[in-house]
């Protein structure tokens, strides 16, 4: 695929971005450079390398759910000035 000014203008339009001609001219060599770099990466020998989702060996740390104390409805309502008939009041939504 050829990267040209028309393609940059089309992509910008699709993304609802407005670009001046000067900006499109400025982005053209930058985009070509990025794509050239990806071509170099595509040639890298990855045979025998396992795919990874993160470059560092991070592991999830799970814990068992533990029940903790909670406050009563009356206590929760007492913490707010915006209550009515046992419920919190909020702004009207349409």
Query: Which sequence spans correspond to the domains of the chain?
Result: 20-45
Give residue 23's pLDDT. 95
Confidence of residue 72 (pLDDT cuts 50, 70, 90): very high
Tokens of 70: 């909670």
Between 57 and 16, name the one with better pLDDT: 16
User: Residue 87 — φ and ψ, nearest 5°?
Assistant: -130, 160
Look at the alpha carbons of 19, 7, 38, 54 in this order and tell me if their dihedral is positive or negative: positive
81 vs 71: CA distance, rounded Å: 17
Residue ranges with strand state E in the chain: 83-84, 87-88
Give residue 30's pLDDT. 95
- Whole-prediction pTM: 0.48
Mean residue pLDDT across the chain:
90
């Amino acid at each position: 695929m050829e990267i040209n000014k028309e393609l940059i203008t089309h992509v910008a339009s699709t993304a609802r971005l407005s670009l001046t001609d000067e900006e499109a001219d400025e982005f053209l060599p930058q985009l070509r450079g990025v794509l050239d770099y990806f071509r170099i990466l595509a040639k890298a020998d990855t045979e025998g390398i396992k795919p990874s989702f993160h470059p560092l060996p991070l592991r999830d740390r799970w814990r068992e759910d533990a029940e903790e104390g909670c406050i009563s409805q009356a206590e929760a309502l007492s913490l707010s000035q915006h209550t009515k008939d046992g419920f919190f009041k909020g702004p009207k939504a349409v």
